Structure 1
Amino acid sequence: MIEPAVSSDAVATPTPTRGSVVAWAFWDWGSAAFNAVVTTFVFTVYITGSSFGDEDVISAQLGWALAIAGLLIALLAPITGQRSDSSGRRKFWLGVNTFIVVAITIAMFFVQASPSYLVLGLFLVAAGNVFFEFASVNYNAMLAQVSTPATIGRVSGFGWGMGYLGGIVLLLIVYFGFIAPEVGLFGVTSENGLAVRVSMLIAAAWFGLSALPVLLRVPEYRAPQSQRQATVGFFASYRVLGHDVARLWKTSRQTVYFLVASAVFRDGLAGVFTFGGVLAASVFGFSAGEVIIFAIAANVVAGVATIAVGALDDRLGAKPVIVTALVGLLVSGLVVFFLHDGGQIVFWTAGLALCLFVGPAQSASRTFLARLIPAGREGEVFGLYATTGRAVSFLAPTAFAIMVTVFGETYWGILGIMLVLLVGLLLLIPVKAHQQQIN
């Protein structure tokens, strides 16, 4: 098994315990509040509805808002990761950014079902995405603190799986407790979007409480003495980053190659979830309620698969897991495409098969990179991981839109997403999985 390089003067860290692993993974469990409820199935669906204006226009405006957020993340994520590495305050910044997201989610309660509140809703979604990604950079960097080289795959898979399972529980609560009934819990109705707005308060509390274990249980990271840097100004940090990236290219080119390959196939993975609901509704005739039921089932499959495959990651390595998952996604996606006239049973079977492979690919991608990073550089490189992902985040939506526009049928968009996954797979195959020094 490959072991990360460790500086000779690295500070000894406590042996990871089961309690610290569970505490760390509970952040993933809570993050479903933002991933599933805010950005995928509830709040963004709410603000792109007819209550806020022309749905096509609003969808485009949401796309632009998220594009601006992606640009900010691409510019700022590696800097925030780098500064948290050098200052030794990863957990501190994880907490700060997490609770900014919690505050933003609470603010979504005030977005009433009226066109005059659209700008506020779009701003909150975009801002939430920015700070959620900042928090994720530090959270991913902490993976090395709660695992060993022999367990990193299982720990990463456990975290991803907890995220999917947390999404299931929270979607069940908000859907059956507030959104589906005419009169939900505490007498909440859908009038003026109240059911969705109250769901945002539930999501905020869910994330805030779930983030507490990692902040209270996992020790703060302390940078090795040789890697501590004098505090520099914000803009000077870009100069430091430029030097670091140049050194990364010279001394660990395989890491750079993987950052590029993973950016492409991770965008394809995101496209599977982003457009899954659209395909279910427009091609296979799912109702809005049936889409959420499918989403719950999809999270179950993805969560169980991710946790189960984590052990294979440790035994076989991350790259075989990623390659197998991408091939499985391509096969399942082509089944959905060619059998699109087969009714809902086709989407239920092949669609769930897609979900079987998405989680393992995401988790193994994180562990592949974590094994390449020497101690003390996790935040910086995971910041680049976020940046490269955002830099190509237009690929899957563009490929989907081009195929639908050219052929005039929504189901052709499936091939667009599959094309992105195929390119990512081809870029990954030549990448070598051996340790690279980037000190």
Structure 2
Amino acid sequence: MGSNVVEPGVESAPTSAQRRREQRGWCWYDWANSVFPTSVITVFLSLYLTEVAESAARAEGQSCADGSALVDCDISLWGLSFPAGSLWGYLLSVATVVQVLVLPITGAIADRTQNKRVMLGGFAFAGAAATSALALLAGTNWQLGVVLFILANICFGGSVVVYYSFLPEIADADERDGVSSRGWAFGYLGGGLALAFHLALYLSHESLGLTEAEAVRWCFFTAGLWWAVFTLIPLARLRGHQPPQGRERGVAVFRAGFRQLGQTLREAKSYPLTLGFLAAYLVYNDGIVTVTNVAGQYGERELGLDRTVLITTILIVQFIAFVGAVAHGRAARRFGAKRTIMVSLVLWVVVVGAAFFVEAGQEFQFYGLAVGIGLVLGGTNALSRSLFSQLVPPGREAEYFSVYEVGERATSWLGPLVFAAAGQATGSYRLAIVSLVVFFVVGLILVALVPVRRAIVAAGNRPPKVV
């Protein structure tokens, strides 16, 4: 006689209506967390934290010119002295290294315990709290900002690993590209709306009776609030889908997680096609990340554009990326994820090549470039996420997505290095930006070489009708 007993933490099979509701709820976490990389990292924290660090140097009697990192404008931490203007770069590097150490064990514990909803909420709320606490950053206490940012960054990465691992559980092979694309599109829309609100708050600070610094701190507080409040939606709708792989409690969970991580890394060589696609993704994603990170520098230094134009460009990319992600999802449904990614990479080559011909001072040409980046930015990443989820062995989703995230961060230094080296060798930002085409060409070749249908079957999954 069959048993009706359901494993603890695992709910009964959902109806089609419940399944759609869960998928829509899942997409809301893209909306919730996008405020952190967009408003906090990209726009406000880098400049504000540098200003606080320079204030600390001035308080010690050093001379600091506004907006520059003079040799004698130094701060110190743990016995190390460095220019205040270098703080943000060093902080990003340290935060990335910490994530590389933390994320793999996070994925292993998530797979081992299958307590993903609780882990997602824990990471999200802790990260949101650390982000809101950045509102306390004032005066000369830049060290507080360092601690809070590293904590928020760890929580952001951990939540993303757990969040991604839900995708294979809530969407079948034929649904996954569409669900991932909608999530990514929703994230860009949410990030764009949040950034627009924060920019309006910042630009109108005088009429609100706020100083510039106070307006920035309110941006931090509301960014954390946004992240926390909208996280409640996916937490209310996501469900447990798999039984736990172990019964450990307390510290034993961490020991079991390390053992499982070691086992997964040893077994990974049994899936060479999965690793082949991951390698391709890391190559072209490095190009994507570098283009988005240096676009502002290119616009300001090479094209001589005002910072208002650059901020407007960020908003254009955010909202156009929403359209691009939706369009990529529809294209993947008809032509398959692999073919759509390959076409997207060709378009990346065209867009980066077009950057060479943008004339100095021509802001509308630069806006056109932003439209081109937005159209391919969200879709390429969304389909890469969904395709990788097809290549992951069942029950190891969080671990493989932790490798996905760690690999992305561990290789993110190569693109900026190529850009900087090309600029130094040629003395031209134009040739430097064009040099990044190599990442998309090599990535395109590597993707083309991966037999995706065979890779999906080899991982133990059912391939979609169109790949």
Alignment partner of 1:330: what SS?
A: helix
Aligned to 2:404: 385
Identify which range, 351-360 or 338-347, moves more after superposition: 338-347
Higher RCO (CA < 8 A, seq sep 6+): 1
C-alpha distance in structure 1 between counterparts of 2:332 and 2:106, whole Å: 29
- Judged with a 3 Å threshold, the aligned counterparts in structure 2 of structure 1 residues 283 and 383 are, in CA distance, closer, same or farther, namely same
C-alpha distance in structure 2 between counterparts of 1:61 and 1:51, whole Å: 8
Question: How many correspondences in the alignment?
Answer: 421
- Judged with a 3 Å threshold, the aligned counterparts in structure 2 of structure 1 residues 182 and 206 are, in CA distance, closer, same or farther, namely closer
Aligned to 1:180: 203
Question: Which ranges of structure 1 fall in alignment gaps of 5 or more residues?
Answer: 1-9
TM-score, structure 1 as length reference: 0.89
Aligned to 1:148: 172
Aligned to 1:120: 144
TM-score, structure 2 as length reference: 0.84
- Judged with a 3 Å threshold, the aligned counterparts in structure 2 of structure 1 residues 184 and 146 are, in CA distance, closer, same or farther, namely farther
Aligned to 1:160: 184
Aligned to 1:247: 267
Aligned to 2:30: 28
Q: Any conservation in 1 of the 2:109–2:253 contact (CA below 8 Å)?
A: no
Aligned to 1:315: 334
Q: Partner letter of residue 427 of structure 1? A: L
- Judged with a 3 Å threshold, the aligned counterparts in structure 2 of structure 1 residues 71 and 294 are, in CA distance, closer, same or farther, namely same
Shift of 1:385: 0.6
Q: Any conservation in 2 of the 1:73–1:386 contact (CA below 8 Å)?
A: no
- Judged with a 3 Å threshold, the aligned counterparts in structure 2 of structure 1 residues 211 and 228 are, in CA distance, closer, same or farther, namely same
Match of 1:132 among 153, 156, 161: 156
- Judged with a 3 Å threshold, the aligned counterparts in structure 2 of structure 1 residues 184 and 363 are, in CA distance, closer, same or farther, namely farther
C-alpha distance in structure 1 between counterparts of 2:410 and 2:136, whole Å: 32
Residue 224 of structure 2 corresponds to residue 204 of structure 1: yes
Q: Any conservation in 2 of the 1:247–1:438 contact (CA below 8 Å)?
A: no
Shift of 1:342: 7.0
C-alpha distance in structure 2 between counterparts of 1:216 and 1:164, whole Å: 22
Q: Any conservation in 1 of the 2:177–2:332 contact (CA below 8 Å)?
A: yes
C-alpha distance in structure 2 between counterparts of 1:318 and 1:62, whole Å: 37
- Judged with a 3 Å threshold, the aligned counterparts in structure 2 of structure 1 residues 182 and 76 are, in CA distance, closer, same or farther, namely closer
Residue 93 of structure 2 corresponds to residue 93 of structure 1: no
C-alpha distance in structure 2 between counterparts of 1:273 and 1:48, whole Å: 21
C-alpha distance in structure 1 between counterparts of 2:122 and 2:283, whole Å: 30
Aligned to 1:420: 439
C-alpha distance in structure 2 between counterparts of 1:84 and 1:266, whole Å: 25
Match of 2:288 among 255, 269, 273: 269
Shift of 1:346: 2.3
Q: Percent identity?
A: 27
Q: Partner letter of residue 437 of structure 1? A: A
Residue 211 of structure 2 corresponds to residue 189 of structure 1: yes
- Judged with a 3 Å threshold, the aligned counterparts in structure 2 of structure 1 residues 412 and 229 are, in CA distance, closer, same or farther, namely farther
Q: Any conservation in 2 of the 1:32–1:166 contact (CA below 8 Å)?
A: yes
C-alpha distance in structure 2 between counterparts of 1:409 and 1:233, whole Å: 53
Q: Any conservation in 2 of the 1:13–1:145 contact (CA below 8 Å)?
A: no
Q: CA RMSD in A?
A: 2.3
Shift of 1:287: 2.1
Aligned to 2:80: none
Identify which range, 265-274 or 89-98, moves more after superposition: 265-274
Alignment partner of 1:80: what SS?
A: helix
1:1-57 CA deviation, whole Å, 9 max, x = no partner?
A: xxxxxxxxx986424533222211111111121010111122223223587356444
C-alpha distance in structure 2 between counterparts of 1:83 and 1:189, whole Å: 45
C-alpha distance in structure 2 between counterparts of 1:38 and 1:234, whole Å: 31
Match of 2:21 among 12, 19, 22: 19
1:159-210 CA deviation, whole Å, 9 max, x = no partner?
A: 000111011211111111x21125254x3231xx111110111111111111
C-alpha distance in structure 2 between counterparts of 1:383 and 1:272, whole Å: 24
Shift of 1:264: 2.0
- Judged with a 3 Å threshold, the aligned counterparts in structure 2 of structure 1 residues 222 and 163 are, in CA distance, closer, same or farther, namely same
Q: Partner letter of residue 327 of structure 1? A: V
C-alpha distance in structure 2 between counterparts of 1:153 and 1:310, whole Å: 6
C-alpha distance in structure 2 between counterparts of 1:189 and 1:221, whole Å: 49
Q: Any conservation in 1 of the 2:134–2:217 contact (CA below 8 Å)?
A: yes
- Judged with a 3 Å threshold, the aligned counterparts in structure 2 of structure 1 residues 323 and 58 are, in CA distance, closer, same or farther, namely farther
Alignment partner of 1:339: what SS?
A: coil
Aligned to 1:7: none
Q: Any conservation in 2 of the 1:403–1:415 contact (CA below 8 Å)?
A: no
Q: Partner letter of residue 215 of structure 2? A: A
Alignment partner of 1:322: what SS?
A: helix
- Judged with a 3 Å threshold, the aligned counterparts in structure 2 of structure 1 residues 211 and 200 are, in CA distance, closer, same or farther, namely same
- Judged with a 3 Å threshold, the aligned counterparts in structure 2 of structure 1 residues 101 and 50 are, in CA distance, closer, same or farther, namely closer
C-alpha distance in structure 1 between counterparts of 2:150 and 2:441, whole Å: 29
Alignment partner of 1:135: what SS?
A: helix
Q: Partner letter of residue 317 of structure 1? A: G
Residue 305 of structure 2 corresponds to residue 281 of structure 1: no
- Judged with a 3 Å threshold, the aligned counterparts in structure 2 of structure 1 residues 11 and 264 are, in CA distance, closer, same or farther, namely farther
Aligned to 1:437: 458
Q: Partner letter of residue 164 of structure 2? A: N
Q: Partner letter of residue 352 of structure 2? A: G
Shift of 1:360: 0.7
Match of 1:300 among 319, 322, 325: 319
Residue 416 of structure 2 corresponds to residue 375 of structure 1: no
Alignment partner of 1:376: what SS?
A: coil
Q: Any conservation in 2 of the 1:80–1:383 contact (CA below 8 Å)?
A: yes
Q: Any conservation in 2 of the 1:85–1:223 contact (CA below 8 Å)?
A: no
Shift of 1:357: 0.6
Question: Which ranges of structure 2 fall in alignment gaps of 5 or more residues?
Answer: 1-9, 55-63, 70-82, 461-467
